[in-house]
Amino acid sequence: MQSFRTELENPIVEKDIIDLEKKIRAFREGKIHDEKFRSLRLARGIYGQRQPGVQMVRIKLPFGKVTFKQILRIADISDEYASSNLHLTTRQDIQIHYVSLDRTPELWAKLAEDDITLREACGNTVRNITASPTAGIDPKEPFDVSPYAYGTFEYLLRNPVNQDMPRKFKIAFSSSDDDTAFAFAHDIGLIPKLKPNGERGFKVLLGGGLGAQPMLASLVEEFLPEDQLVPYIESVIRVFDRYGERNNRNKARLKYLVQKVGLEEVLRLAKVERIANKVKTYKINRDTIPQPNIPQPTGLEGIEPVDQFKYQQWLDTNVFAQKQEGYYGVYIKALKGDIPTAQARKLIAAIEHLVADELRITANQGLLLKYATKASLPALFNALTEVGLAAPGFDSVADVTTCPGTDTCNLGISNSMTFASVVEDLIYNEYADLIYNRDIKIKISGCMNSCGQHSMAHIGFHGSSLKAGARVLPSMQVMLGGGIVGDGVGRAGDRVIKIPSKRATDVLRTLLNDYKANSNENEIFHNYYDRQGKDYFYQMLKPLADLTTLTDDEFVDWGHVENYASAIGVGECAGVVIDLVATLLYESDEKMEWANASYEAGSWADAIYHAYSVLISSAKALLLDKGVNSSTHGGIIREFDNQYVTTGEMPLNGSFNDLVLQINQNEPSEAFATTYLAQAADFLATVKVKREPLLQS
């Protein structure tokens, strides 16, 4: 593997990249087990594709903010290392595909030159923190949540508390009570609130999530003061890290911990953890997000739209007045979330003199431009038309959200990308009036895991398969009635019926025709669905599920020519469980090094948490020697006492529980850090001595 040098100004980032290069080399040399290496690369945004030997690289962009320079840098990277395409995701990231593993450190170094990171974009970490794209310009917002989203991202990045959690953890900030960031569907969802005296705070929702079993978050705080935001989040993450399920990844999200022990117990445990937090109060710098450069375009007099009718459609569906008087936000609809790099460059060249130097990636895989003027709108429409990005109907029935499906994802069961294109064509050609309808959202996922957000769509589809005799055919599970209600309240869609994939367009026609014919005047889709009831829709769609009338074409998935074969790879969305004893002890040594480095830097809380991880990893290693594989940190602590301490096999000065849980009974001071690190080092040394005879036998 070719080495590289980076001139990055940030030594922490440089260390990250050099460490990745070393880990890849060690993996190639067989010094790191495959399972361990997988978790290492996932935490650095590198995800194995469906295609063998290549990677998807996820680029982490907090709350979807990206400058013109950064988007051009990412386009250059995609041309040099990937497939010359930018894929916009529902978590406001950008993904590039078909990247060689050995080139990822070099790729990361080049991105870092423009302050772009891959760190914690995948794996068992706090994923990209999302926010309403309109944050900062939303006429309905009490205040701009962008600095709070960024401050939370900055605090948690590389924080020991979220480096190896049971599974991924998602946080979202909505800009207003409209809840356009879907607070109700997140581990922690936040909605800004302003008291009459001007005090800022957040409504807090906890324990939501999509996936195969969507659950809606619970309201836990009506008003959390802004300085308590970060400490509150850290306390919850600490609880999840200690008590979350680690063996069964299907039950490893925070929502399942809430389901298992109860919401009140999770909140009680979070209060206990507060003493160990790095900070007890955390002031967010409200000025951390600089105002973008706003151009003053000239020479716009007399410019007319190239198509007056389409211009008016575009104005009506893609343009809105900002809270800043005289300025307009402009949405760009990106089919399937894909923007080829050549198109991205043309876009920036066409708009850079007309709008502010900042793009926001939207949760429905589009882009938001800011600070257009009324005089510049015709020129902007013409420019977007020229580059093929002036399609009307943003966030309407015609704006379909989709995940990559079987195009690149290991977990994909059916092709969602081609189907999304077919659906959008159907809407534009057969239901053109629905480009003005923002009440109904259509979302598609290639499997049940809801990366395309199908479970919170008014009309959702997810990939599946059906058996017809000895043959298997691609199918779609139809879900209805999901979506936003507002102010933290949401709805998860009902599973109504499963149908062959090629009939999904007929499902859509049937639903839209019935809605037009049988909804009451001005009745929104949610009310129409509730009034008619789930069985009404099941009976309506049942003829489309009849497998006795199948044709040969229905055994071929969208976008394919060969007969369908259900083939699912090993999913990497949230890492894997590492159960190898040697790997755990290697991990303990590494974490002890991190603990000592943090201690030397005076970062007492970080040093303490790394030491805590040393104790847990070392204890788990010995438990595995006895065939005991506990699924939580709490279980490891309990079982170590049962198997080693109370039996006298490994006597301690007190219980292992007392040793480990000093962490949530002491302030993170230098004195406690000194004691705790020494105890962790002694314990690790004892574990190694204890295990040595097993290695000799």
Residue in this structure with the two tokens 């949230």, named with its chain if needed: 574
pLDDT digits (tens, 9 = 90+) for 547-595: 999 999 999 999 888 887 765 544 555 433 333 677 788 789 989 999 9
Enter the tokens of residue 411: 């977990």
pTM listed for this prediction: 0.93
Q: What CATH number is attached to the domain comprising 638?
A: 1.20.120.330
Least Cα distance to 441 among 499, 402, 496 occurs for: 402
CA angle in degrees (0–180, nearest 5) for 123-126-128: 95
Cα 291 to Cα 142: distance, rounded to the nearest angstrom: 18
Q: What CATH number is attached to the domain comprising 247?
A: 3.30.413.10
Enter the tokens of residue 265: 């117990």
H or E segment to which residue 534 belongs:
helix 534-541
Residue 574, pLDDT score: 43
Residue 162 lies in a domain: yes
Cα 685 to Cα 678: distance, rounded to the nearest angstrom: 11
Q: By residue range, what is the domain housing residue 244? A: 130-276
Give the distance, in angstroms, between the CA of residue 408 and the centroid of all CA atoms in the same chain: 17
Enter the tokens of residue 301: 């007099």
Residue 391 lies in a domain: no
Pairing status of strand 483-486 against strand 489-491: antiparallel
Residue in this structure with the two tokens 């006795």, named with its chain if needed: 548
Residue 50 lies in a domain: yes
Question: By the 8 A CB rule, do 436 and 396 touch?
Answer: yes
Pairing status of strand 171-173 against strand 130-131: parallel
Least Cα distance to 25 among 97, 105, 98 occurs for: 105
Q: Please report how the helices 11-28 and 104-112 are oriented relative to each other, as an axis angle in degrees rounded to 10.
A: 170
186 to each of 32, 92, 129, 275, how far by Cα in Å? 34, 14, 10, 25
Q: Reduce the DSSP state of residue 582 to 3 states and report it.
A: helix
Cα 632 to Cα 63: distance, rounded to the nearest angstrom: 31
- Sorted by sequence, the CB contacts under 8 Å of residue 527 that are 6+ apart come out as 520
State phi, psi for 587 to the nearest 5 degrees: -65, -40
Cα 381 to Cα 475: distance, rounded to the nearest angstrom: 39
Residue 106 lies in a domain: yes
Which of 65, 86, 112 is the endpoint of a domain? Answer: 112
Residues 195 and 317 in one domain: no
Residue 250 lies in a domain: yes
**Given phi > 0 = left and psi -120 to 50 = alpha, else beta, which region is 182?**
left
Residue 487 lies in a domain: yes
Residues of the chain where predicted confidence (pLDDT) is lower than 50: 1-8, 569-570, 574-579, 695-697
- Sorted by sequence, the CB contacts under 8 Å of residue 525 that are 6+ apart come out as 439, 440, 458, 483, 515, 519
DSSP state letter for 632: S
Question: By the 8 A CB rule, do 639 and 623 touch?
Answer: yes
Residue 288 lies in a domain: no
Cα 640 to Cα 628: distance, rounded to the nearest angstrom: 9
Residues 144 and 260 in one domain: yes
Residue 572, pLDDT score: 53
Residues 501 and 378 in one domain: no
Pairing status of strand 459-468 against strand 442-445: parallel
Residues 418 and 362 in one domain: no
Which of 224, 258, 276 is the endpoint of a domain? Answer: 276
Cα 315 to Cα 497: distance, rounded to the nearest angstrom: 38
Dihedral angle of Cα 434, 440, 445, 450, to the nearest 10 degrees: 160
Dihedral sign for Cα 335, 98, 416, 135, please: negative
Residues 450 and 588 in one domain: no
With residues binned 3-state (H G I as helix, E B as strand, rest as coil), the percentages for the chain, rounded to 5, are 45, 15, 40
Count of domains in the chain? Answer: 5
Residues 426 and 511 in one domain: yes
Strand partners, 225: 201
Residue 580, pLDDT score: 62
Which of 85, 112, 139 is the endpoint of a domain? Answer: 112
Residue 45 lies in a domain: yes
214 to each of 173, 491, 529, 540, how far by Cα in Å? 19, 10, 19, 25
Q: Which amino acid is present at 364?
A: N
Strand partners, 340: 85
Residues 135 and 262 in one domain: yes
Residues 433 and 482 in one domain: yes
Residue 166, pLDDT score: 94
Residue 3, pLDDT score: 39
State phi, psi for 648 to the nearest 5 degrees: 80, 0
Residue in this structure with the two tokens 């946080």, named with its chain if needed: 171
Question: By the 8 A CB rule, do 36 and 182 touch?
Answer: no
Residues 322 and 458 in one domain: no
Farthest-apart Cα atoms in the chain, separation: 89
DSSP state letter for 280: S
Enter the tokens of residue 176: 């207003």
522 to each of 90, 427, 525, 590, how far by Cα in Å? 29, 20, 9, 62
Residue in this structure with the two tokens 């990677």, named with its chain if needed: 55
Q: Reduce the DSSP state of residue 328 to 3 states and report it.
A: strand
Residues 102 and 134 in one domain: no
Cα 25 to Cα 36: distance, rounded to the nearest angstrom: 14
Enter the tokens of residue 39: 């978790």
Enter the tokens of residue 257: 């911990």
Residues 447 and 536 in one domain: yes
Dihedral sign for Cα 132, 133, 136, 138, please: negative
Q: What CATH number is attached to the domain comprising 356?
A: 3.90.480.10
Residues 515 and 546 in one domain: yes
Cα 174 to Cα 145: distance, rounded to the nearest angstrom: 7
Question: By the 8 A CB rule, do 88 and 133 touch?
Answer: no
Q: Reduce the DSSP state of residue 50 to 3 states and report it.
A: coil
Residue 183, pLDDT score: 97
Residue in this structure with the two tokens 């406001």, named with its chain if needed: 92
